[in-house]
């Protein structure tokens, strides 16, 4: 073989190899997923479960890059990033979606759910199908639902033993009109504020109170600036996993199946873990020095009665038939 021919064949082989490598590199799907929960929270840990399942089942054809703990901004920023396609998906409280799809307000009705099973049966039935379609029209693909949990009020003033104890509390809430109306109905002074600013506001006594699941109260160390803990369970907060619809639909059918199945499994892991750890977080907060006051059945019924009018207010903003569907599906469980 002549030296010239050898060089030609070598160059050709190298070119083929580089082309193959480039094609292989281009074939890898990179999915960026962000959240705003602390890294130790079950929500953030479930993102690791999702990453492991997807990368294994796709044989590395899909790579998942994770950004927990508000690394790419808060919940509102993450939603905007998913909408623009900068992010593939985010894990977020349903309370943050009411400005996109007002019907999510119906899932935030006070004292709507008595247990977790009720909530998931509702969002995985007719109600969930309707919400999925409405989110799709906004450019989002709902992949699955997880648990943020029952929300409980903490405060720095007094034990919450009856309805009157809620009056006058300056309490931080998520940017959700149902939540705000609920606490106005209780005589509180609710303020919508990003959670990233909350610790400082409580520490400086700008606010008296806040409400979150036990896990969030612990992970964000609110016990350091709040002395009283309740089990008010006034809202059950659902976690929504939402992806950019166009980006999801550009995946091959095989990859779509891998992503959706893996997310459902990750969310089942997250639900089970959150439920298992819930009481442990409460006990941890009590041991850390918080005074725990359990809401009596009588007081809970008073709170339910005091906030009953919120349903009619929601019906002024959301299709009344949809609100009735949510309530009927919840009570049927």
Q: List, for residues 207-219, the tens digit of each pLDDT value.
A: 999 999 999 999 9
Q: Is the pLDDT of residue 18 over 80?
A: no
pLDDT of residue 323: 98
In a domain, 171, yes or no: yes
Q: List, for residues 105-148, the tens digit of each pLDDT value.
A: 999 999 999 999 999 999 999 999 999 999 999 999 999 999 99
- Residue 51 CA to chain centroid, in angstroms? 17
Query: What pTM does this model have?
Result: 0.89
CATH number reported for the structural domain that contains residue 115 in this entry: 3.40.190.170
Average pLDDT over residues 307-316: 97
Count of domains observed in the chain: 1
Q: Which residue has the higher pLDDT, 316 or 16?
A: 316
Q: Is the pLDDT of residue 22 over 90?
A: no
Phi, psi of 116 (to 5 degrees): -65, -40
In a domain, 4, yes or no: no
pLDDT of residue 128: 98
3-state secondary structure of 142: strand
pLDDT of residue 194: 85
Angle at which helices 320-332 and 116-123 cross, to 10°: 130
In a domain, 216, yes or no: yes
Query: Dihedral angle at the C-alpha atoms of 219, 178, 86, 39, nearest 10 degrees?
Result: 10
Average pLDDT over residues 317-325: 97
Angle at which helices 116-123 and 126-137 cross, to 10°: 60
What is d(CA 333, CA 330) in angstroms, rounded to the nearest whole number?
6
pLDDT of residue 277: 97
pLDDT of residue 2: 54
In a domain, 49, yes or no: yes
pLDDT of residue 4: 52
8-12, 34-38, 240-244, 253-257: which has the minimum mean pLDDT?
A: 8-12
CB-hemisphere CA count at 13 Å for 201? 18
What is d(CA 271, CA 153) in angstroms, rounded to the nearest whole number?
22
pLDDT of residue 256: 98
Banded model confidence at residue 155, pLDDT cuts 50, 70, 90: very high
In a domain, 183, yes or no: yes
Average pLDDT over residues 136-162: 98
Characterize the bridge pairing of strands 62-67 and 140-150. unpaired
Q: Is the pLDDT of residue 333 over 90?
A: no
**Across-strand partners of 146?**
239
Q: List, for residues 125-135, the tens digit of each pLDDT value.
A: 999 999 999 99
Cβ burial 276-313 (10 Å sphere, 16+ → b, else e): ebbeebbebbeeeebeebebeeebbebbeebbeebbeb
Nearest to 278 by CA among 223, 218, 203, 333: 218
Q: Which residue has the higher pLDDT, 318 or 7?
A: 318
pLDDT of residue 196: 86
Average pLDDT over residues 54-75: 97
In a domain, 12, yes or no: no
Phi, psi of 47 (to 5 degrees): -65, -35
In a domain, 6, yes or no: no
- Residue 78 CA to chain centroid, in angstroms? 11
pLDDT of residue 17: 47
* Domain that includes residue 238, residue range: 26-328
What does each C-alpha distance from 209 to 155, 185, 188, 247, 302 come to in angstroms? 4, 16, 10, 40, 20
Average pLDDT over residues 22-41: 82
Average pLDDT over residues 186-193: 97
Average pLDDT over residues 170-185: 96
In a domain, 67, yes or no: yes
Average pLDDT over residues 34-55: 97
């Amino acid at each position: 073989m002549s030296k010239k021919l050898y060089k030609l064949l070598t160059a050709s082989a190298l070119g083929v190899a580089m082309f193959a490598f480039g094609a292989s590199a281009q074939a890898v799907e990179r999915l960026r997923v962000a959240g705003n929960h602390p890294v130790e929270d079950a929500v953030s840990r479930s993102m690791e479960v999702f990453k492991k399942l997807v990368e294994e089942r796709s044989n590395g054809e899909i790579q998942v890059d994770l950004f927990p703990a508000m690394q790419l901004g808060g919940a509102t920023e993450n939603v905007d990033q998913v909408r623009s396609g900068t992010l593939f998906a985010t894990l977020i409280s349903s309370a943050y979606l009411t400005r996109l799809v007002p019907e999510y307000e119906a899932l935030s009705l006070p004292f709507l759910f008595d247990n977790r099973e009720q909530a998931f049966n509702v969002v995985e039935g007719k109600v969930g199908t309707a919400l999925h379609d409405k989110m799709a029209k906004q450019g989002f693909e709902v992949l699955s639902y997880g648990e943020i949990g029952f929300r409980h009020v903490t405060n720095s003033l007094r034990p919450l033993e009856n309805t009157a104890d809620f009056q006058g509390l300056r309490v931080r809430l998520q940017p959700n009109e149902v939540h705000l109306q609920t606490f106005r109905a209780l005589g509180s002074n609710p303020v919508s504020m990003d959670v990233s600013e909350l610790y400082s506001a409580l520490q400086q006594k700008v606010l008296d109170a806040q409400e979150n699941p036990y896990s969030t109260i612990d992970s964000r160390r609110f016990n350091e600036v709040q002395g009283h803990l309740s089990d008010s369970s006034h809202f059950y907060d659902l976690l929504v996993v939402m992806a950019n619809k166009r980006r999801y639909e550009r995946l091959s059918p095989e990859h779509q199946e891998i992503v959706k199945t893996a997310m459902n499994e990750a969310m089942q892991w997250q639900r089970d873990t959150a439920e298992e750890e819930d009481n442990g977080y409460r006990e941890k907060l009590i041991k850390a020095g918080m005074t725990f006051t359990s809401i009596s059945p009588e007081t809970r019924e008073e709170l339910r009665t005091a906030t009953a009018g919120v349903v009619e207010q929601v019906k002024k903003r959301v299709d009344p038939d949809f609100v009735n569907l949510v309530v009927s599906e919840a009570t049927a469980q």
